[in-house]
Structure 1
């Protein structure tokens, strides 16, 4: 009968929604842990190139090169130091940095300006696989709450003259300057964002690189400490992907880091955007939205039956 077809059509979004959740979940459980070198537990969303095609997310594919786990970020290769599945971060280091060689430098510049979430961290249209911001006790889908930058910058400057009037300039001698003095240049490093007052006459930026090593104080630094920060590397986050998988873009999402057992949660938001395309007040969770959808479809169906019967 025609009304049966109408009901089946109305139920179609539900079947697609639960098929998506069930299939993705079963695929994850079918995949064994991968390993490469010091990274022994590689699991969703990550995958190695040789893993079964249904395992992991292709945007989070890692490589195993000479027994070293590597990741390509903005077309640049980085070595993977660790993966933290508890706070949704992965720690990377530029392969140009050598632990026992203080004259080694990153091969490429990288800063927060490369990441689409840096200046608008609740932008739903930011589709980069990795973000430079972490969200703690924050509504990921809303514009409220707190956020945390995952790394700070180390800025290298090449100067034609020695800088003695700014304590933020850390001399890199003897590690780097032994190569540059013959050219009449002095290499300095500054931890943190470069401000206008930091610029000195005859200096220009040579390299910008990130680090997530905590405890770096601008006014009390040696270049040995800065090199250790390079060796430690920097963290980026895939929290936004986990939020999308958990809440399906139907409810606000945040990382509750203050609880005894930190976890990712879908939360109630007084104003949220439903998948039916309108703003709603009250509970924006999945069950609430499905109930709202069912009520709405029931209303439209009854109206349709009424008008087709009497007119």
Structure 2
């Protein structure tokens, strides 16, 4: 009888310990399964198809991509925001990790854009092709020293010049990338066409190794760590490609 009184509590403790371990393990497994299922979804929006990591939006939850790389789909048109400027996504190529984008404000109204320079978050994107800076100056006081390339807008003229040096006698200036082929910067039609034609950027964060092994990448909470998930949980011997690489070409300063 004495031995039973000693071993019974021990068995009870072990039994409860096993139950406790199982209970705390279940949420972890469910979380991994949810991440694998949710982040396996790809974004399709109009001409954009099969866009995955590092983007999120539409049918991809926020943990499936970088927090600053949300793709918004409205009326089958995709939009991203880079440094508080909204861009329309004209083309997306998941294989080459490139997007062709153009500033939405210049699509809407050339004469009244958001007065913010076009600049990339270099931790997320690099220019894929060479472009030159075009500076558009607004609210200028007429002067003989101003550039002669003037684009008419209702109520004011817009002065354009190649390069990123703003005209000091103007209220504000905006720098935008344009193709190297643009030379007639006093022609409103050609300048507007060059801006709205857009430019190509390549995103840096990758998930190639993980995806080629059948996994999906997910961003882990506030730590912003990238985790590779397989069907049954975090992949044991795989780490996502989180290296950064420089662009093949750059935004040319004049």
Shorter-chain TM range is: 0.5 to 0.7
What residue is the counterpart of 1:110 in the other structure? 117
- Over residues 2-58 of structure 1, what are the superposed CA-to-partner deviations in whole Å (9 max), with x where a residue is unaligned? xxxxxxxxxxxxxxxxxxxxx9xx959972432123323422222324325664444
| Aligned-partner Cα distance in 2 for 1:159–1:83 | 38
Matches of 2:116 and 2:94 in 1, distance apart?
27
The Cα offsets for residues 166-219 of structure 1, whole Å up to 9 and x where unpaired, read as: 6x542112xx1x322xxxxx4211232227xxx47xx225231322434112x6
TM-score (normalised: structure 1): 0.47
| Corresponding residue number in structure 1 for 2:194 | 229
The answer to whether residue 193 in structure 2 is matched with residue 193 in structure 1 is no
Q: Could you tell me which of 83, 86, 99 is aligned with 1:77?
A: 86
Partner of 2:173: 207
Long gaps (5+) in structure 1 = 1-22, 118-127, 135-147, 181-185, 258-311
Matched, 1:129 2:129: no
**SS of residue in 1 equivalent to 2:44:** strand
Distance 1:84 1:248, change over 3 A: closer
Q: Give 1:229-268 correspondences, 5 Å limit.
A: 229-239=194-204, 241-242=205-206, 249=243
TM-score of the aligned structures, taking structure 2 as reference length: 0.55
**Aligned residue pair count:** 186
110 and 40 in structure 1: CA distance in 2 versus 1, 3 angstrom threshold:
same
Q: Which secondary structure state, in structure 2, belongs to the residue aligned with residue 97 of structure 1?
A: helix
Cα deviation for residue 109 of structure 1 reads 1.3
- Name the SS for the 1:242 alignment partner: coil
Distance 1:255 1:161, change over 3 A: closer
Determine if contact 1:89/1:237 at 8 Å carries over to the other structure. Answer: yes
Q: Distance in 2 between matches of 1:96 and 1:161?
A: 26
Secondary structure at the residue paired with 2:195?
A: helix
**Paired position in structure 2 for 1:61:** 70
Q: Which residue is 1:154 aligned to? A: 135
Tell me the distance in 2 between the aligned counterparts of 1:205 and 1:111.
Answer: 18
Is the CA contact (8 Å cut-off) linking 1:46 and 1:60 kept in structure 2? yes
Cα deviation code 1:225-274 (max 9, x no counterpart): 111122123343323x239977655xx956789xxxxxxxxxxxxxxxxx
Query: What is the root-mean-square deviation in Å for CA atoms of aligned residues?
Result: 4.0
Q: 2:116 & 2:149 partners in 1: Cα distance?
A: 19
Is 2:148 aligned against 1:172? no
Q: Any idea what the Cα deviations from partners look like across 1:76-122, whole Å, max 9, x if unmatched?
A: 332222223354332322222237x7x5443241244x64x4xxxxx
Specify which structure has the higher proportion of strand.
2
1:11-22 → structure 2 map (5 Å cutoff): none
| Structure 2: gaps (5+ residues) | 1-31, 210-239, 250-254
